[in-house]
Structure 1
Amino acid sequence: MTRGEDESGAAAMQSLYPFLYADTGDLAAVLEQVRASTVAKAGEICELRRVIAARDGARLAQCARQAAARFAAGGRLFAFGNGGSATDAQQLATLFLHPGGDARPLPAFGLANDTSVVTALCNDIGVDVVFARQLAAFGGRDDIAVGLSTSGNSANLVRAFDEAGRRGMLTIGLAGYSGGKMAELDSIDYLFVAPSASIHRIQEAQTTIYQVLWELTTCALGAAEGPEEVSHVSWHTG
């Protein structure tokens, strides 16, 4: 790491956590800044969830109905993303596959989970096709493709959505900022954007979105009331 990179990283940390860099020996003052910072961040994510619920709640319920129809027809869910979004995709797949309790398990897979496949594709062909090639091999018309990105600009997600669209899969995108390149794709059936410039708030909001998607999908599959009547259940906004 160069000196410039080190200084840049320190500046970024100081902007996020100024109380850690304050030249003060007043513990009470530092703790108050920690409290205020925590409250502010909680307020940001609660407000972001409220915005998304008001704007996208009806579309999310509609998306869940279509996902339920795919599962009822024997379809499977394939989730994918890069970096932290790969971890979120894995969590999303686990939520559908192993929800716990009496909830119905649904077939779901994380495409970044198999390191042998991922590294082979990256090494032999290129990272841009790492998800598209898997969807080409496994995806069918009754299946669901869910891609997560904070920026919305990941080239391998764009390629994956285009491949999924060609195969007639139900395509669902989760992005941040203003949606990036994902907002320009005709191959995404449902795009849910967390309108924030904070990666932390975006990922927190996306976690809420896919939790709601799972809940509404299972309700659409098994409950007497439709997803319209339960579309509010998981929008915990504080």
Structure 2
Amino acid sequence: MTLAETIGVYLAEKRRIVDEFPVAVLERAAEMLFETYDEGGTVYAMANGGNAGTLDHFYCDFKHHPFVTEDKTRPLPPDVRRLSFVNLCSSAAELTGLVNDIGADDMFAASLAPFVTPRDLVMAYSGSGNSPNVTKALQVAVDAGARTFAMTKGDGGRCRELAEVCLVVPGTSRFPGQVGKNDNNFHFEDLMLSVNHMLVGLLKQRVAERRTD
């Protein structure tokens, strides 16, 4: 297979995923986000590896983008409610401290447990759906009565069982680097950012509509 043909495989898979995207699942996730925002709750997000870095992008977008004018010249007035967003992966000091003290499997759960409430939304991202640090924190969120959203792939793993709403990236891949145990992983990671952008845009629309009511 030539380089161009291999690139074509990736793009063809991407188009198929977009065609099969579970719109209704993301619609429900957006509704949970709106409920959390309306109630003054906090969004907590967690992931591992490169996906933890993507959550920094989430943090920037969710914290600021829905709350600026359309021409991006100024923020909305201070009386417009902002969204509280916590990236559980943001502090290397906190994470390494928790790993050192209680172990990697419990680091997110320990960070989340003292603060999560039923007003909140906990967002979990795990390609396998079985990362212990993610599933343990999801269980903490469920026990606290919080809203829960997970994004995964394959069969969804434990995340699919725990989360109130679970978005499973459809399909499988033949592209180098995302076959076997990593099946569809690049597409999963690409789609994380798309999900972020859709949710942020929908929240921006919600904020704007509330201001004109």
Q: What TM bracket, shorter-length normalisation?
A: 0.7 to 0.9
List alignment gaps of at least 5 residues for structure 2.
71-75, 77-81, 173-182
Is 1:102 the counterpart of 2:69? The answer is yes
Residue number in structure 1 paired with 2:198: 212
Following superposition, the deviation at residue 218 of structure 1 comes to 3.1
TM-score (norm 2): 0.80
Residue correspondence of structure 1 range 66-215 to structure 2 within 5 A: 66-99=32-65, 101-102=68-69, 106-185=83-162, 188-195=163-170, 196=172, 197-215=183-201
Could you tell me how far apart the structure 2 residues matched to 1:99 and 1:37 are? 36
- The alpha-carbon distance between structure 1 residues 59 and 201, as it changes in their structure 2 partners (threshold 3 A), is closer
2:65 and 2:204 in contact (8 A); partners too: no
Which runs of structure 1 show a deviation greater than 3 angstroms over 4 or more consecutive aligned residues?
Answer: none
Following superposition, the deviation at residue 68 of structure 1 comes to 0.8
Residue number in structure 2 paired with 1:58: 24
Following superposition, the deviation at residue 176 of structure 1 comes to 1.3
Number of equivalences: 188
2:25 and 2:166 in contact (8 A); partners too: no
Could you tell me how far apart the structure 1 residues matched to 2:60 and 2:200 are? 11
Could you tell me how far apart the structure 1 residues matched to 2:52 and 2:88 are? 8
CA RMSD of aligned residues (A): 2.0
Deviations 1:84-110 (A, max 9, x none): 121122222222013275277522121
List alignment gaps of at least 5 residues for structure 1.
1-17, 19-32, 225-238
TM-score (norm 1): 0.72
Q: Give me the identity figure in percent.
A: 24
2:36 and 2:43 in contact (8 A); partners too: no
Following superposition, the deviation at residue 149 of structure 1 comes to 0.9
Deviations 1:47-84 (A, max 9, x none): 112211xxx21232222122112111111111101101
Deviations 1:110-133 (A, max 9, x none): 111111111111001111111111
Could you tell me how far apart the structure 1 residues matched to 2:96 and 2:103 are? 9
- The alpha-carbon distance between structure 1 residues 133 and 107, as it changes in their structure 2 partners (threshold 3 A), is same
